[in-house]
Amino acid sequence: MHDELLTTLGNGSVHWFRDWPAADVPTHAAGVYTVWEGETLVYVGMSGRSIMADTPHRRTPLGLFTRLASHAGGRRSGDQFCVYVADRLLLPTLSAGQLREIADGTLSMDSLVRAFIHDRLSYRFAVVPDGATAFQVENLVKRGALGTRPVLNPGTGALAPAQ
């Protein structure tokens, strides 16, 4: 049912956070995205939970664009992906000196998170008709529909056998 979307999320066009914003990310759309570090699936997310197929377009961005923009910004406040990147991917790489500088306020953890995201992470995305579809596809990817589960937010449970 969602095979084309899964193919796009696993093998579609690669976009780098360092090149944000990508011209082909729509400013008003529900969508699903995967984040990669090389060949490793790091994270899957969705945005546009409230968007329906007939939701009128707004002048201000809504959905997929705003979520990816938040991730590209690297700020941990209000962005669970950036918190995961900070805690699980970046923190283990920091030196004792960097940790001291973060603790005393001379080095910004958010700036390090942003640099990590821009230097090392890419994403793929798929636009979907509504938030419900985005949620379904996100859960499939979390449970291993791309042949692996994301490092930062794996789902629980097995995929149903193919019919």
Coil, helix or strand at residue 125: strand
What's the maximum distance between 2 C-alpha atoms anywhere in the chain? 57
Kindly report the pTM of this predicted structure.
Answer: 0.92
The tens digit of pLDDT for each residue in 97-130 reads 999 999 999 999 999 999 999 999 999 999 999 9
130-163 per-position pLDDT tens digit: 999 999 999 999 999 999 999 999 988 877 665 4
SS3 103: helix
Between CA 12 and CA 125 the distance in angstroms is 8
pLDDT band at 78 (very low <50, low <70, confident <90, very high): very high
What distances in angstroms separate CA 39 from CA 68, 109, 120, 147, 160, one per listed residue? 20, 26, 11, 12, 25
